[in-house]
Amino acid sequence: MKKLKQEGKTEHPLLKLIDQKKIPAHVAIIMDGNGRWAKSRGLERIEGHRAGIEGVKAAVEAAQETGVRYLTLYAFSVENWKRPESEVKELFNLLDHYLEKEKNRIEEEQIRFRTIGRLTDLPQKTRKNLEEVQERTINHKGLTLTFALSYGGRAEICDAISKIVDKAKMGEFNSEVTEKTVQKYLYAPDLPDPDLLIRTSGEYRISNFLLWQIAYTEIIILDVLWPDFRQEHFYEALLDYQRRERRYGGVSE
Ligand code: FPP
């Protein structure tokens, strides 16, 4: 809760209930429901995405306040390329805008910004912006904020296998393929597996997100559309997570 104290803000009552000894290191979020949020207001879908930026800011703040070390947000999937060109274009414009607007905060708060996904698919300008912010923040020691862009869990596993096969062809790999080997060739091998995965909009689906990494992740589905997501939803999810017993296939103590 360091951040709140620094800013002199009052603490949300739910924050007091969170056990500081059981904070998940890594929280991943499937940000869903922007389209429905916009439709229910008679707005264009892109307005839902625009409003969704408030959700992103709330998630980042809540992660920092609670001491979560890694936050990974599913911003654009490999399947999202099927959407109308105008929506895709606007989504990347929004991302460019977000990076520009949040530049100072990322610096001041020492956020380490990262991406996972097939970045080569992205518009040149967005890719350049992303690469710049990643390089600039590489030594930052605050929250690691990862955006999944043109990301697919199956694509990531296929990409890892291709890299292993290439190594084998060059004679640089001739041992047994273990879980450790696959992990090494993921997009961000050093990121720990998520402890908690949150999905908004009440849908019970994984949608091809972090398939390898979520083997033992706790999943929480929230009945809120992403543009309405605020810090208290994050706190609620953390409290629910802390009530669970993680056994990793073992038995209770
Ligand atoms: C899913 O809602 C959301 C996305 C595909 C995009 C996520 C984008 C944002 C949160 C805003 C952009 C912000 C940044 C910084 C990238 P959906 O469109 O699938 O909603 P629906 O299921 O209700 O149609």
Q: Check pocket membership of 98 for ligand 1, CB cut-off 6 A.
A: yes
CA 91 / ligand 1 centre spacing (Å): 8
* pLDDT of the residue at 6: 62
CA angle 61, 190, 140 (to 5 degrees): 45
Overall domain count for the chain: 1
Task: List the one residue out of 74, 9, 94, 41 whose CA is nearest residue 228.
Answer: 41
| pLDDT at site 42 | 98
Q: Which residue, 88, 76, 231, 41, is CA-closest to 155?
A: 76
Q: Who contacts 167 (Cβ-Cβ below 8 Å, separation ≥6)?
A: 173
Distances (CA, A) of 140 to 51, 216, 220: 28, 28, 29
Q: Identify whether 118 is part of a domain.
A: yes
Q: Ligand 1: does its nearest atom lie under 6 Å from the Cβ of 95?
A: yes
Q: Whose CA is nearest to atom 14 of ligand 1?
A: 95
In a domain, 180, yes or no: no
Asked whether residue 8 is assigned to any structural domain, the reply reads no
Q: What is the CATH number of the domain that holds 125?
A: 3.40.1180.10
pLDDT at 5: 57
The number of the ligand 1 atom at minimal distance from the alpha carbon of 45 is 18
Residue 93 lies in a domain: yes
Q: Which residues are catalytic?
A: 32, 80
Q: What pTM, to 2 d.p., does this model score?
A: 0.95
Q: Are 27 and 200 in contact (CB under 8 A)?
A: no
Domain with 117 in it:
23-152+193-242
Closest CA to 111 of 76, 150, 151, 71: 71
Mean pLDDT in consecutive groups of 10 residues from the start of the chain, 253 residues: 62 94 98 98 98 98 98 98 97 98 96 98 98 97 98 98 95 90 97 98 98 98 98 98 90 76
What confidence score (pLDDT) does residue 8 get? 61
147 in a domain, yes or no? yes
71: tokens are: 């936050």
* Torsion sign (Cα): 13, 223, 91, 74: positive
